[in-house]
């Protein structure tokens, strides 16, 4: 009579053990749900946990962007940038000052060398100007006028029909050839009332030539010239003076 209850107990224990194995096997096959956040466990409902986390991240970024530490870092960076720019400007100004100082020193050194070279050279005594060569020929001028004044045979005449230059004319037969015919270039000639000149060129032209021939004479229209006829010919001798 005592064995039945024991058997029943054993059967119940066996059944309980079989039930635990089944539940254990079933539990191993079904994934366990993750634990809910504290807010949900306490009854709060969150439709999108990811959205909630994203919102929390943005808020933290905005909070960090406006934090005093970040502003201080930005101000420090700006101050460093300004200081670097000022340092570069000062360095450029200093380089320019140094270049100008070098140029000035070079100019002073060159001036000093030039002054020393001049002092080292022996002083040269000023050479006296050569005395003016005395006039070899004196040409008196007795009158001024046209052909009639020349034909008067009174001496050299300022022949006024020639206007581009001063013409001193005298007939050969009236002494003009003897007075002028021998004058060569480089001869010093003193003309009464006009000054002292040097003969520079001789030219022979036909009698009655126009004053335009003087354009190609002695460089073009000499300031003064002598003229006389060449004996035995139909030509005239012109002597340019400068």
Considering the entire predicted model, what is its pTM?
0.47
Instruction: Report how far residue 34's alpha carbon sits from residue 31's, in angstroms, rounded to the nearest whole number.
Output: 9
CB contact at 8 A, 166 and 194: yes
Pairing relationship of beta strands 235-241 and 224-229 according to DSSP bridges: antiparallel
Average pLDDT, the chain: 77
pLDDT at 99: 86
Instruction: Report how far residue 163's alpha carbon sits from residue 147's, in angstroms, rounded to the nearest whole number.
Output: 14
41-95 pLDDT, tens digit per residue, is 444 445 555 545 554 444 444 445 556 778 888 888 888 888 888 888 888 888 8
Burial class (CB in 10 A: 0-12, 13-18, 19+), 198: middle
Every domain of the chain and the residues it spans: 66-113, 137-241
87-97 pLDDT, tens digit per residue, is 888 888 888 88
111-153 pLDDT, tens digit per residue, is 888 887 777 665 555 567 666 666 788 999 999 999 999 999 9
Q: Which two tokens stand for residue 20?
A: 């635990």
Instruction: Report how far residue 24's alpha carbon sits from residue 8's, in angstroms, rounded to the nearest whole number.
Output: 24
Instruction: Report how far residue 212's alpha carbon sits from residue 57's, in angstroms, rounded to the nearest whole number.
Output: 110
Q: Which two tokens stand for residue 139?
A: 């040409």
What CATH code would you report for 137-241? 2.40.260.10
């Amino acid at each position: 009579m005592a064995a039945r209850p024991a058997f029943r107990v054993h059967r119940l224990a066996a059944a309980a053990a079989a039930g635990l194995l089944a539940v254990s096997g079933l539990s191993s096959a079904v994934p366990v749900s993750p634990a809910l956040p504290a807010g949900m466990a306490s009854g709060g409902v969150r439709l999108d946990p990811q959205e909630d986390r994203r919102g929390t991240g943005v808020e933290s970024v905005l909070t960090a962007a406006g934090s005093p530490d970040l502003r201080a870092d930005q101000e420090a960076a700006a101050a460093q940038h300004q200081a670097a720019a000022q340092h570069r400007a000062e360095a450029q100004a200093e380089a320019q000052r140094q270049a100008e100082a070098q140029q000035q020193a070079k100019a002073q050194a060159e001036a000093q060398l030039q002054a020393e070279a001049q002092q080292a050279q022996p002083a040269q005594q000023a050479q006296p100007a050569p005395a003016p060569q005395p006039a070899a020929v004196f040409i008196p001028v007795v009158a001024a006028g046209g052909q009639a004044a020349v034909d008067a045979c009174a001496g050299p005449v300022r022949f006024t029909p020639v206007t581009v230059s001063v013409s001193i004319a005298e007939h050969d037969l009236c002494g003009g050839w003897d007075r002028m015919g021998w004058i060569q270039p480089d001869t010093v000639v003193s003309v009464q009332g006009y000054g002292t000149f040097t003969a520079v060129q001789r030219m022979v032209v036909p009698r009655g030539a126009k004053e335009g021939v003087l354009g190609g004479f002695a460089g073009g229209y000499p300031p003064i010239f002598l003229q006389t006829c060449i004996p035995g010919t139909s030509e005239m001798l012109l002597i340019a003076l400068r």
